[in-house]
Amino acid sequence: MVAFPPVFGMSAAVVGLATIVAPLAAFLLLGLLRPLRATGTPAAAVAIVAALVSTACAFALVFAGAPREAVADLTVPWLVSAGQTWATLGVYLDATSVPMLAVVTLVGLCVQVYSLGYLHDEPKESFGRYYAFHSLFLVAMLLLVVAKDLLQLFVGWELVGLASYLLIGFWWQKPSAARAAVKAFWLTKLADIGLGAAIVVLYVQTHALDWSPATVQALGPAGATLVAALLFVAVMGKSAQFPLHVWLPDAMEGPTPVSALLHAATMVAAGVYLLVRAWPIFDAAPDVRLAMAWIGAFTGLFASVVACAQTDIKKVLAYSTCAQLGYMVAAAGAGAIDAAYAHLIGHAAFKALLFLGAGCLIHAVHSNELADMGGLLRRLKFSGGAFIVGALALGLYPSKELVLAGVGHAGLQGPLVLLLAAAGLTAFYMTRSVLLALFGPASAHADHAHEAPASMLAPVLLLALLSVAGFALFDSVAPVLVAVRERPHSWLGHIAHGLALAGFAVGFALYGPRRRDALALPGVRAGLAFVRAAAVDRAFQAAYRMGLLAFSRSVAWVDRYLIDGVMNLSAFASQSGAERARRIQTGKTYDYLTAVVAGLLLLAVASVYAR
Amino acid sequence: MQGATLVQIAVAAPLVAFAVLVAMPGRLVGLVRWTSVVGAAVSLAAALGAAATYDRTAAGIQHVSSLPFVPSLGIALTFGVDGWSLPLLVLTGVILLAGVFASWDVKERPRDFFALLLLLSGGVQGVFASLDLFVFFLCYEIAVLPMYLLIAIWGTSKRVAKGGPLGFVWSRLDIGGKEYAAMKLTLMLLVGSALVLFAMVGLYVAAGSQSFDIRDLAKVPFERNLQLWAFVALWVGFGSLAGVFPFHTWSPDGHAAAPTAVSMLHAGVLMKLGAYGVIRIGMVLLPEGARELAWLVGVVATVNILWGALAAMAQTDLKYIIAYSSVSHMGVVMLGAATLTVNGWNGAVFQMVAHGLMTALFFALVGLVYGRAHSRDVPQMGGFGARMPGIAVCFTIAALSSLGLPGLAGFGAEFLVFLGAWQGGQPVWAVAGLVGAFLTAVYVLRAAKAIFWGPYGQAASASDPPGAPDPYPDLSDARGVEWFSLAVLVALLVALGVWPRLGLDLIDVGTADYLPAVAGRALEVLR
């Protein structure tokens, strides 16, 4: 095993630990010290400083110049069984976890700084609470990233779910936010049954919890298929794959920076990160990978279609996130895990950019609706420009070609066609959003729109810069960061570009200078798509209300009126029986005499017959 | 101090406090409260001391002391502790202390209330520390019987709608009333006790009528038939206190009618007596019976988990929700016991501790909410978070522990049990348990949302005209000593969640002591 070079003169694992400890300290300070939390901005400063420390450590690890095989490992025994440790907790750094550390901390930092401006009008107490939740989120996500085995990954995974529940429900007094928070938790928890079962199976079969080749060997082909399938169920929930995607659009109820953090760059990415991390297991399960390719590709197309019909700018981005996660899942399904990871990292940057840019637009017009925007570019040059950069990146990012090439290589024609169609649609709906929000006649709200404060613009511009840099330097950075194979200059890339350009063109034709009643235009197809999207949601609702709740009511009825009824019946019977028996005690001599005579007669008869 | 003395103090302290309270004039309320605090705190401190002086490498039963009681029958006041009983002794101390603080403001006959509470806890400690089967049973009864008075005098009543094919029983029974609930709880548990007594005497006689000492009885190879019927009797008998389906129906009515501290102690530790009895007496003394019937115990436990969770989901009364959740979570304990694996047993005992803390916290919070809202009807609530933020946070933490969130005590316990189930060759049990955890997430988060989230007074304002008076004028956050029990319970839930080995290292020793003999296989195979 190659050792990780020291960073800041310390062992790399300690620096990795610091990335977690800093936000943890911030969370504890803000969570436990109510007076500090209630100060508002100073409370935010605590969290931001912690995130800064964390980011600095993470980037130091990225630039430490470690060889790809280098590993740093610092774990303590966490669970025991018959005196022997079998689960550990700690920091495990290698070529897979370190890039993700940097992505998570950087996006987290950007979002925290951005929120300073975006949530400026929140009451001080809830502002402090917001930053406490953000710190908790970072802790959870980083725990997941540096996990050495599946159990710690599960711990982080569930805590990420908790943090997202708290952040989606940040405006907890709003009924829709409360509902969305609970819904997100339930759906991901439902899918997590798969992860829990996968860990159990893995341990029972191999007495190990990791994803090393030795463990996969011990698991055998059938075991690997079972574990991979169970893990994938959890991935579908976390990474919003059809049909478990229904929580994601609702989750936009949280503040926009939260959407950027959780539902674009990190939380939903946890599912794909699990695919990358536990890749040896998936690699050994070709049947599961085939299903992954199809489900990912279908989600990619489906969510893209639905995105075309949205009128809320955040929902457009939410469905586009679904679709891009579909790309990553499909790539993993095709065996191109490097492409999936590259797309994960690239997407984290430009989708955070898009959400934060959209947040600037929303901040300016106080509405999420595209109809309330329009002509904003004149007044919002920086954030509008950044949003356009994000849209272009989403349409043309090089890692998408890697995904398509991977799927094509694997000979999966069906998924390939779905994904290519999705690529065209992506360009179309982003063009539509850009044109509706930034160009054309100014809406009533746009007149007094003003550019966002510096605290919001700085992270947006940084992310825009990173997106451009990632675009320009992709071929030199990606192989180092995630060991992607060389980008194939195949006909697939040309087709993808052609489709994207066609998407841009159609979008421009429909929503460009001569736009008609644009929001009504996509017409029949998109309208149908919307109905279908809602249909999945309605199916879940029906299963919950008419299935689960109705069933629980009948269980409670049986419990109360039949099972407990029998207990009550026994009490009833003994009471009324006792009352009957009491009537014998009449107190009249002739009654007792009758009884005595009758008893004697009975005895006499009995003695005759007994002989 | 000697470990044996510490164990004796842990058992005796609540009983001494009980005796002092009985002798004390009832009007000295302050003195009554602080006497109770001292009794509880001394018991807790002694239990902690006993745990600290327990030698984990030597394992086995330690800190043994014995006083003759009825020598002619081989009965002695023998006390001692092992890796299982120590965490439960500490748990009882913690919950008793929290319960005393949670009932600080009991207005009606406080002296009698606290006296009975301490008597009950002394009984519980006696069960966990006892090594003599007769004394075990005696303490078991001491733990159960005060409950009748505590519920019938200090409890609250509720109307349960008449219905079902057996609706005619309403003519005689005041179903949901506090006297009804107290009587039902006592009678159902006494039927269980009768079964336990029956099995106990059977074992004593079969072993040669020499000794009631559990260690002696454990050495006797009882014949197969005796093992089978005695195991069933002990399982059903003790199990009725652990809420084993279908003998669980005393629990929702009893917990709903009981005052706060009584619910805390009852769900927090008394139900554990039942599970502890099944494992420590039933399984350890009757290994063959346990092996033969583990499948039945496991199947019923699975039913418990799912049935309790589904029934909880349909409740609208806050106390009933929590009471049914106890039925569900005790199923996890019994499931772990039925796996006969190291992880399953570790998980079962750990779940006793985790669930004890979690449900005590829940009932403390429910008491606070009820005391302020004067209602337990969840659909009528909403937006309470604005008026009681601290209570809302604690409720959320209890809810998260109950659904098995990592970082809180419930996770380690449930995960170990499900792991043990699969290792024991019962994947269906494990999956059912995981589904149960999901169902728990549904009903607890639904309740948390309905009570604390959303706009304040939403449900009330739907029918009332604007400007109607505040439906809940007394809502406020916890105050003063009320924080104490909440803070202690939350802190322990987090501590055991972050570092499960605080409890698990000891429990693991106990499991290693008993499991190989019960499962009939080497420890290494059972890992």
Confidence (pLDDT) at A488: 61
B384 in contact with chain A, both atoms CB, cutoff 8 A: no
User: B426 to chain A nearest CA, in Å?
Assistant: 11
pLDDT band at B460 (very low <50, low <70, confident <90, very high): very low
Chain B residues in contact with A233 (beta carbon < 8 A):
none
Are the beta carbons of B500 and B489 closer than 8 angstroms?
no
pLDDT digits (tens, 9 = 90+) for B269-287: 999 999 999 999 999 999 9
Q: Mean pLDDT throughout A546-574?
A: 86
Report the candidate in B123, B175, B180, B124 with the shortest Cα–Cα distance to residue B148.
B180
Does A183 score more than 60 pLDDT? Answer: yes
pLDDT digits (tens, 9 = 90+) for B365-412: 998 888 888 888 888 888 888 888 889 999 999 999 999 899 899 998
Count the neighbouring beta carbons within 10 Å of the beta carbon of residue A488: 15
CA–centroid distance for B285 within its chain: 22
Residue contact B438–A189, C-beta within 8 A: yes
Confidence (pLDDT) at A570: 87
If one compares B137 and A518, the residue with the highest pLDDT of the two is B137
CA distances from B195 to A501, A560, B201, B230, B369 (A): 80, 25, 10, 9, 39
Does A212 score more than 50 pLDDT? Answer: yes
Report the candidate in A24, A12, A222 with the shortest Cα–Cα distance to residue A139.
A24
Nearest to A572 among B173, B423, B437 (CB): B173
Does B458 score more than 60 pLDDT? Answer: no
pLDDT band at A603 (very low <50, low <70, confident <90, very high): very high
Alpha-carbon dihedral angle through residues B366, B370, B372, B374, given to the nearest 10 degrees: 170
What's the mean per-residue pLDDT of chain B? Answer: 89
Q: Please tell me the least confidently modeled range out of A266-270, A530-534, B122-126, B459-463.
A: B459-463
Residue contact A196–B418, C-beta within 8 A: yes
Which helix or strand (DSSP H or E) is residue B168 part of? none
Does B473 score more than 90 pLDDT? Answer: no
Does B218 score more than 70 pLDDT? Answer: yes
CA distances from A267 to A241, A341, B62 (A): 14, 15, 49
What span, in angstroms and rounded, lies between the C-alpha atoms of A337 and A482?
A: 10
Q: Please tell me the least confidently modeled range out of A248-252, A552-556, B335-339.
A: A248-252
Chain A residues in contact with B412 (beta carbon < 8 A):
79
What span, in angstroms and rounded, lies between the C-alpha atoms of B477 and B303?
A: 38
Nearest to A568 among B173, B504, B523 (CB): B173
Confidence (pLDDT) at A517: 46
pLDDT digits (tens, 9 = 90+) for A480-528: 777 666 656 567 778 888 888 888 888 887 777 666 544 555 555 556 5
Only one residue has tokens 């706009």, namely: B455
pLDDT digits (tens, 9 = 90+) for A19-78: 999 999 999 998 888 888 888 888 888 999 999 999 999 998 888 877 788 888 888 888
A159: closest chain B residue by CA: B406
pLDDT digits (tens, 9 = 90+) for B232-266: 999 999 999 998 988 998 988 988 888 888 899 98
User: B312 to chain A nearest CA, in Å?
Assistant: 8
Which 3 state secondary structure label does DSSP give B161?
coil
If one compares A261 and B215, the residue with the highest pLDDT of the two is B215
Please count the residues of chain B.
527
Q: Is the peptide bond before B379 cis (omega within 30 degrees of 0)?
A: no
Angle, CA B473 vertex, CA B471 and CA B474 arms, to 5°: 130
Does B156 score more than 60 pLDDT? Answer: yes
Q: What is the DSSP string of A470-482?
A: HHHTHHHHHHHHH
Q: Is the peptide bond before A255 cis (omega within 30 degrees of 0)?
A: no
pLDDT band at A365 (very low <50, low <70, confident <90, very high): confident
Does B184 score more than 70 pLDDT? Answer: yes
Count the neighbouring beta carbons within 10 Å of the beta carbon of residue A471: 18
Q: What is the ipTM of this complex?
A: 0.89
Q: Mean pLDDT throughout B478-498?
A: 90
Q: Mean pLDDT throughout A224-235?
A: 92
Confidence (pLDDT) at A531: 56
Does B343 score more than 60 pLDDT? Answer: yes
Confidence (pLDDT) at B53: 92
What span, in angstroms and rounded, lies between the C-alpha atoms of B344 and B124?
A: 24
What span, in angstroms and rounded, lies between the C-alpha atoms of A404 and A177?
A: 37
Residue contact A80–B505, C-beta within 8 A: yes
Determine the residue type at A230.
Answer: L
Which helix or strand (DSSP H or E) is residue A109 part of? helix A97-118
Are the beta carbons of A345 and A406 closer than 8 angstroms?
no
Does B341 score more than 50 pLDDT? Answer: yes
Report the candidate in B21, B147, B145, B9 with the shortest Cα–Cα distance to residue B89.
B9
Confidence (pLDDT) at A590: 86
**A579 CB-contact burial (10 Å; exposed 0-12 / middle 13-18 / buried 19+):** exposed
**A83 CB-contact burial (10 Å; exposed 0-12 / middle 13-18 / buried 19+):** middle
* Whole-prediction pTM: 0.91
B415: closest chain A residue by CA: A196
Confidence (pLDDT) at B482: 85
pLDDT band at B433 (very low <50, low <70, confident <90, very high): very high
| DSSP letter (8 states) at residue B30 | H
Tokens of A351: 């989708």
Only one residue has tokens 């092996």, namely: B291
Count the neighbouring beta carbons within 10 Å of the beta carbon of residue B361: 30
Which 3 state secondary structure label does DSSP give A78?
strand
Confidence (pLDDT) at B461: 47
Confidence (pLDDT) at A453: 81
Chain A residues in contact with B403 (beta carbon < 8 A):
189
Which helix or strand (DSSP H or E) is residue A591 part of? helix A589-610
Are the beta carbons of B130 and B139 closer than 8 angstroms?
yes
Confidence (pLDDT) at B464: 53
Q: Give the B window 359-378 contacts with A, CB below 8 Å.
A: none
Report the candidate in A240, A278, A10, A18 with the shortest Cα–Cα distance to residue A138.
A18
What span, in angstroms and rounded, lies between the C-alpha atoms of B184 and B178?
A: 10
